[in-house]
Structure 1
């Protein structure tokens, strides 16, 4: 039984790694972005069903922001080479500086999950690039390309109210992320706070031919929540923003400057669809990843099912639901793979201003929502005929404040063997419960060898949960 459980754990890890490779940015660009030359030596670039005549352009500006910004830019630039009449330049905003920064590109190491000074500097630089482009070009000789991926919300930020400090902006972000709100709800609030989100960045390029190329880490139907929608018309409203603030009781947790800002009865509305001419193309979504996992699992002989019902659910409710669904499926099938993409939520406690009279801020443990989900699932697993494993991992290779992407656990993670079978190890179970209580799942899972460490993947397609049983 132990051998089978270990085999399933390795299968789950392989499914995660190989399915993510199937959804690489390089592959997505090669399939959806094409360039060609006609008989008159004119160069064209095809974005899905849209065609751009590159031969007529004098100015191309590329603004790339998010966790996948570097590989997106690397996949795009070969299509823009050898244009003798055209100047190509732009801004790259991501966590780490690439080994070779493309010529004529400014780089900013934007913060994540909290913004930093580089996030603000990057937003100002992006606005300056768009302003200069409009002054130097005409609508017929310029093209603006926005490469947007998850993480750009924090990496590219500028408060709509210029008097709000970076310190207060960071506090605002922290309280939002820890509130238990879904990503769409969090980004609704951020859109109405920001001078560049909710479509406001793209509005600075109005009058110039513009395209947004997107790697989506948000639920389908909420594409304008990706990176808080800097280049897409916003479907959310000020009224919805205020309702979210009230439902999660956030105003009391914000700094005074944010309370004044959101308390303004004339809070400006974000740009809507009728104000937009910019176009967009989604290159990869979390659905593509789930389907790739399903195909690979079926090739291994599993009965594979995708169930994204628990997207944005509390991690406990999601774990109970998925394990029960897995038990239901295994009644009729010898080998089962249940796949769930999207994110679960973990509400963190309010930060204590001081501890032990030292003035030190309250510190949470190590981990993120994937490790928290996995460890909680491990506490629910019981010994039974066959084997069960649960994997949960972030496709960006990062889970919360840890170096792990997530974790994989099984029936034996918190069990001990004796002469009559496997029973709960009370010591391990108590440690797991304490780790959950103190939001220290990552540290506990690391000690028992259940962590998944990939390093930054250069992609970001939300989280993936893989549950296997045989």
Structure 2
């Protein structure tokens, strides 16, 4: 059964093809660039500028280049690694991830400089995907690279929900929370995005550089207070908050957004539906679970999903049943020396609970990366615990020291895809038969 779950995950990834989605939604008919029911007459456009930020930036830009050909454009691509495909007119920046670095700052400065030069007859196309919050940065006055890195490290390792993390990020940045749109003035602006955030909220993707920001500085204060992180922040950041020197971001309804349009290409919803469709094709009973939230701890998530698959099995005792779940949950890093992330931790926490039962569990990241490990996730079944014990592996020890990857690597049960180039959050599949 583990092999079947692996195949279902692989097929689901293969169907989440950004190039195909872009070409289905966007077209060039004569002089008109069409997106769904919208159209832009390119005869009225002086220049096209493409700003691509995130893990899928290179592939998204290459797709747009094919769509626009033979028209050319100037572009800035900010991503995790350079593409082997040359895209004329584009500058490449390889930013830091999961923490910003000097190249992230260079990328932020380049985009600011580029957008300051656009005019009202220009068309700016933004291509946003997961990872953009770290890859691309310029902080507000009073903060430097070390402050920014320290704050990001605190936020991403302490366990707050990603929505809360990005609310804080937006307010200490010059390039997040709608501020790129403000820089581009009255140019026509189109944003195409791949969602790696809860509920596909566009204001959170890459910390929403082109989207109206409904969050406020007051929200930041509440988040930092509720998570008890305020006193742990770098001194420079803390002083800006204490002295009310954190500027607000552009809000919904602001005139800066009058020439902007936004289009979601892929997100967690599509990923979950794709995996559910692949699983149903086997003739199994499938339920999509949408209850798990980003602030749920590991134990609650495990108990909820295993209980759910038991209930579905009781209702359908004559055929295999499956629960498909997407998104993320809270799994703070408790040991910086351990290898693994929330996906492998989830599967490891399931191992003793499914021991001896006809249940298999898979959890993996659609970006091909799970925490600090080289794997995307892991898979386990009712025999995993006994196999581990026979080889001297104690699951509770590996879970306690946040070293789930080492556990599954020794069992041969990691899922390794390599970086996929885009992120539509995690996928979990639980099957009972």
TM-score using structure 1 length: 0.88
| Partner in structure 2 of residue 209 of structure 1 | 188
CA distance in 2, matches of 1:194, 1:240: 15
- Report which stretch shifted further, 374-383 or 402-411: 374-383
| Partner in structure 2 of residue 272 of structure 1 | 251
Determine if the alignment matches structure 1 residue 425 to structure 2 residue 389.
Answer: yes
Determine if the alignment matches structure 1 residue 113 to structure 2 residue 98.
Answer: yes
Preserved CA contact (<8 Å) 2:98 2:134: yes
Stretches of 4+ moved more than 6 A in 1?
A: none
Structure 2 counterpart of 1:442, from 402, 405, 420: 405
| Partner in structure 2 of residue 347 of structure 1 | 332
Structure 2 counterpart of 1:453, from 391, 396, 416: 416
CA distance in 1, matches of 2:84, 2:184: 30
Q: How far does residue 368 in structure 1 lie from its aligned partner after superposition?
A: 0.9
Structure 2 counterpart of 1:75, from 56, 63, 76: 63
Determine if the alignment matches structure 1 residue 329 to structure 2 residue 312.
Answer: yes
CA distance in 1, matches of 2:342, 2:79: 22
Q: CA offsets per residue over residues 161-184 of structure 1, 9 Å max, x none?
A: 2x3221221111110001211110
Structure 2 counterpart of 1:31, from 13, 24, 36: 24
Where 1:283 maps in the other structure, the secondary structure is strand
Unaligned runs of 5+ in 1: 1-7, 38-42, 350-361, 417-423
CA distance in 2, matches of 1:198, 1:35: 30
Structure 2 counterpart of 1:404, from 356, 360, 375: 375
Q: Which has the larger radius of gyration?
A: 1
Structure 1 counterpart of 2:228, from 249, 253, 257: 249
Q: How far does residue 55 in structure 1 lie from its aligned partner after superposition?
A: 2.7
Preserved CA contact (<8 Å) 2:99 2:134: yes
Q: How far does residue 266 in structure 1 lie from its aligned partner after superposition?
A: 4.1
Q: CA offsets per residue over residues 335-393 of structure 1, 9 Å max, x none?
A: 111100100111234xxxxxxxxxxxx84311111111111111221313xx2111110
Determine if the alignment matches structure 1 residue 238 to structure 2 residue 217.
Answer: yes
CA distance in 2, matches of 1:81, 1:55: 15
> 1:289-300 alignment to 2 at 5 Å?
289-300=271-282
Q: CA offsets per residue over residues 84-136 of structure 1, 9 Å max, x none?
A: xxx511100000011123111111111111111111100110011111223xx
Where 1:231 maps in the other structure, the secondary structure is coil
CA distance in 2, matches of 1:57, 1:223: 26
CA distance in 1, matches of 2:204, 2:139: 17
TM-score using structure 2 length: 0.95
Q: How far does residue 215 in structure 1 lie from its aligned partner after superposition?
A: 0.5
CA distance in 2, matches of 1:72, 1:160: 29
| Partner in structure 1 of residue 346 of structure 2 | 373
Structure 1 counterpart of 2:53, from 54, 65, 81: 65
Q: How far does residue 18 in structure 1 lie from its aligned partner after superposition?
A: 0.8
Structure 2 counterpart of 1:462, from 415, 422, 425: 425
CA distance in 2, matches of 1:267, 1:44: 42
CA distance in 1, matches of 2:61, 2:353: 43
| Partner in structure 1 of residue 4 of structure 2 | 11
Q: From the superposition, tell whether residues 428 and 183 of structure 1 become closer, same or farther in structure 2 (CA, over 3 Å).
A: farther
Q: From the superposition, tell whether residues 464 and 368 of structure 1 become closer, same or farther in structure 2 (CA, over 3 Å).
A: same
CA distance in 2, matches of 1:436, 1:264: 42
Q: How far does residue 427 in structure 1 lie from its aligned partner after superposition?
A: 7.4
Q: How far does residue 201 in structure 1 lie from its aligned partner after superposition?
A: 1.3
CA distance in 2, matches of 1:96, 1:147: 16
Report how many aligned residue pairs link the two structures. 427
Q: CA RMSD in A?
A: 1.5
Where 1:259 maps in the other structure, the secondary structure is helix
| Partner in structure 2 of residue 164 of structure 1 | 143
Preserved CA contact (<8 Å) 1:24 1:459: no
| Partner in structure 2 of residue 382 of structure 1 | 355
CA distance in 2, matches of 1:221, 1:144: 22
Q: How far does residue 426 in structure 1 lie from its aligned partner after superposition?
A: 8.4
Structure 2 counterpart of 1:303, from 285, 288, 291: 285
Q: How far does residue 435 in structure 1 lie from its aligned partner after superposition?
A: 1.2
> 1:134-213 alignment to 2 at 5 Å?
134=119, 139=120, 141-161=121-141, 163-213=142-192
| Partner in structure 1 of residue 298 of structure 2 | 315
